[in-house]
Amino acid sequence: MKTCFLSIDVEKRENQKNQPFEGVDNLDNILNVFKKHNVPATLFVTGEVLEYAPDLVKKWAKDFEIGCHNYFHNQLNKIDFIERERQIKNFVNLYKNVFGILPKGFRAPRNIIDNKQFPILSRYGFVYDSSVFPRYPWSFRVYSGYLGRAPIIPYFPSEKNYKKRGEIALLELPESPAPFSIPLAGTWLRKLGVKFFRFIFKLKKPQFISLGMHSWDGVKFEGKSSKNSGKEFLKQLDEIIKFLKGIGYEFKSGEQIYKEISKS
């Protein structure tokens, strides 16, 4: 069975002075599409979001896994290790206060991570990470989260180089792309359209892919990368999930994938 890891980065909109939490307040736009197709998903929320709307996040948790997207949406390479650990600790404490359990999964802001982050995650009970972008089209390597090739299926990273297989017990769920290294993500889906992805999946069907998006993809916004945001994106999302299910992909949350691999 081919697997699709479905996820949303749930955060306040950067550089948005008015209604920065609009995507959070209206996340049901996206979640209702998931529910329509009865697919599990992981919502990586920031501590800011959990602090802003704990009751809303608790409502989402009835149907979906809630993971960690750091406390603030800081790039990890721009804050020191004391601050990194402080943010993880504060997120975990807040999460425990809201849910009474520890979070299982982590995704770094902008997908920027390094080997020094994994010990921090392990100390606070995380069992998997989903930050690594293992492939990216050569002409778009200016993307901040792309830091070189890595395995495109779930793997346990090396202590010396997280982009290689090794001995770390914490599982990496890479944000694996569609065929030909094209990210299957909200922005790309809005820009390229479902027909494009239908075409490339006819040529090749990877065993493991990631379908990710941001909380604000489902609301109409203006400016850079705003093409087909809001209602148009929701239509595309509905179509791509239906298409992927039709060609044999089974949708799973991060925790489901971790449990399956850890038992094998």
| Whole-number pLDDT of residue 201 | 98
| Whole-number pLDDT of residue 254 | 98
Q: What is the pTM of this model?
A: 0.96
Give yes or no for residue 43 having a pLDDT over 70: yes
Q: Give 137-174 pLDDT, tens digit per residue.
A: 765 555 677 778 999 999 999 999 999 999 999 999 99
Domain that holds residue 94: 2-263
Q: What is the mean pLDDT of the segment spanning 214-221?
A: 94
- 240: nearest Cα among 175, 206, 180, 192: 192
| Whole-number pLDDT of residue 136 | 82
Give yes or no for residue 216 having a pLDDT over 70: yes
Count of the separate structural domains present in the chain: 1
Domain of residue 20, CATH code: 3.20.20.370
Q: List residues bridging with 211 in a β-sheet.
A: 6
Give yes or no for residue 87 having a pLDDT over 70: yes
| Whole-number pLDDT of residue 143 | 64
Q: Give 2-19 pLDDT, tens digit per residue.
A: 999 999 999 998 776 678
Q: What is the mean pLDDT of the segment spanning 163-187?
A: 95
| 8 A C-beta contact, residue 35 and residue 62 | no
| Whole-number pLDDT of residue 24 | 97
